[in-house]
Every structure is written in C-alpha cells, then in structure tokens.
Amino acid sequence: VFHMGVVAAVMLSCLALVGGQVQWPHSFSGWLGLAAVGVLQSACLPIWYLALARIGALQAGMLTNLQPIVTMTAAYLLFNEIMGIPQFVGAGMILIAVFVMQNPFTWSALGRKTDP
C-alpha cells in the first residue's frame, strides 16, 4: 500500500511539473481540504484490508459493487446533482446483481434454483 502511494505521488508530481497546471490552494480551508483528502485517501486502503480480513473477499467484493450507488447518492445529497434515467437504470442493475450474489442458492444454466 505504501509503495503504491509513493509511486503514484512520484508519477503525478512528474505529470504536474511537465504540464505546468498545478494550482496550490490559496486559503487555509483549501489547504485543510487538501490535507483531508491526503489523510482520508491514505486511510482507505488499510481500512479496506482490515475489513477484507474480517468479512472475507466475497462479501467485500460485493460491497465494492455498491460504490457507484453510494457515490451517486452522495453527489445528490451534497451537490444537488440531478440523476437521469441511465443512472437509475445502472443503479438498479447493480442492486439486482448484488441481490443475486447474496442469494443463498446458485443459478443453473436453465434458470432453475439449485442448492449449492
């Protein structure tokens, strides 16, 4: 995890230097926001690995499928973004997929439920 962050920081720094479009924050709240992004992003992967060890890979993988729905909901609540039909259709497809994966039965090729 640490090495991924270091490589990403080096690559992004090189791209920023070449592109010349770096605009650093000019206020305390801007610097506070930048620091919060760094701290929260750095905390994400270790927390993810702790959760992975606790709930297992299958459950954790299904939870990651809900990320677009959580992001869409947060965008609506925080930024008043309006969601269109494609977003709702996609969210529905994700929810159906997670429901099917949570179902205690497996599905055969003929569409009949069979015991695992």
Concatenating the DSSP letter of every residue in the chain gives -HHHHHHHHHHHHHHHHHH-------SHHHHHHHHHHHHHHHHHHHHHHHHHHHH-HHHHHHHHHTHHHHHHHHHHHHH-PPP-HHHHHHHHHHHHHHHHHHSSSEE-TTS-EE--
Over residues 93-116, the pLDDT tens digits come to: 988 888 887 776 665 555 555 555
- pTM > 0.85: yes or no: no
Question: Structural domain of residue 109, as residue ranges?
Answer: 66-116
Residue 12 lies in a domain: no
Give yes or no: residues 107 and 71 share one domain: yes
Mean pLDDT, residues 78-93 taken together? 92
Residue 11 lies in a domain: no
Mean pLDDT, residues 72-85 taken together? 91
Residue 14 lies in a domain: no
Over residues 13-41, the pLDDT tens digits come to: 888 888 777 788 899 999 999 899 888 88
Over residues 30-69, the pLDDT tens digits come to: 999 989 988 888 888 888 888 889 988 888 887 888 888 9
Give yes or no: residues 31 and 72 share one domain: no
